[in-house]
Amino acid sequence: MLSLRQSASFCVLASALLVAACGGDDSSSGGTATPTPTATATPTPTPTSTSDTDNLVGTGVSQGTGTDAVVAAANAFLGTLSSAQQTVGSSGSTSTARFDFTLANAIRWTNLPGSRQGLRLNTSTLSTAQLTAAENLLATALSPAGKLEADEIRRADSALVSVGGGSGSYGSGLYSIAILGTPSSTAPWMLQLAGHHLAYNITYNGAAGPSGSPAFLGVEPPNWVVTSTGSILVNGAVTASTAGTQHAPMEPQRAAVQDLAQALQNNATYASGALLSGTYNDVVAGASGNSDSNFGSLAYPTTGRGLLYSSLDATTQALVQAVIQSYLNTMPADIAEPLLASYQSSAALASTYVGYAKGTGGTADFSAYPSGTSSQRSYLRVDGPRIWIEFVVQNGAVINGQIHYHSVWRDKTADYGGQFGSGSSNFS
Tell me how far apart the alpha carbons of residues 253 and 347 are, in angstroms, rounded to a whole number: 24
Beta pairing partners, 219: 405
State the pLDDT at residue 46.
Answer: 57
Q: Which phi and psi (to 5°) does residue 201 adopt?
A: -125, 95
Which residue would you say has higher pLDDT here, 29 or 355?
Answer: 355
pLDDT-derived band at 185, boundaries 50, 70, 90:
very high
pLDDT band at 45 (very low <50, low <70, confident <90, very high): low
Whether residue 9 has pLDDT greater than 70: no
Q: Count CA within 13 A, CB hemisphere, residue 26.
A: 24
Domain coordinates of the chain in residue numbers? Answer: 54-221
Q: What is the pLDDT of residues 379-413, one digit of tens each?
A: 999 999 999 999 999 999 999 889 999 999 999 99
What's the chain's length in residues?
Answer: 428
In percent, how much of the chain has pLDDT > 70? 87
pLDDT at 213 > cutoff 50: yes
pLDDT at residue 30, rounded to an integer: 34
* DSSP characters over 26-40: -----SPPPPPPPPP
pLDDT value at position 28?
A: 31
Q: Which of 29-33, 74-78, 207-211 has the lowest mean pLDDT?
A: 29-33
Non-local (6+) Cβ contacts of 168 within 8 A are: none
Structure confidence at residue 31 (pLDDT): 35
Strands (E) across 305-418 are located at: 307-308, 353-357, 379-383, 387-395, 403-411
> pLDDT class for 44, splitting at 50, 70, 90?
low
**Reported pTM:** 0.89
Query: CA-CA distance, 248 to 117, in Å (whole number)?
Result: 27
Q: Is the Cα torsion angle 256, 261, 266, 271 positive or negative in sign?
A: positive
Collapsing DSSP states into helix, strand and coil, what is residue 113?
A: coil
pLDDT at residue 25 in the model: 32
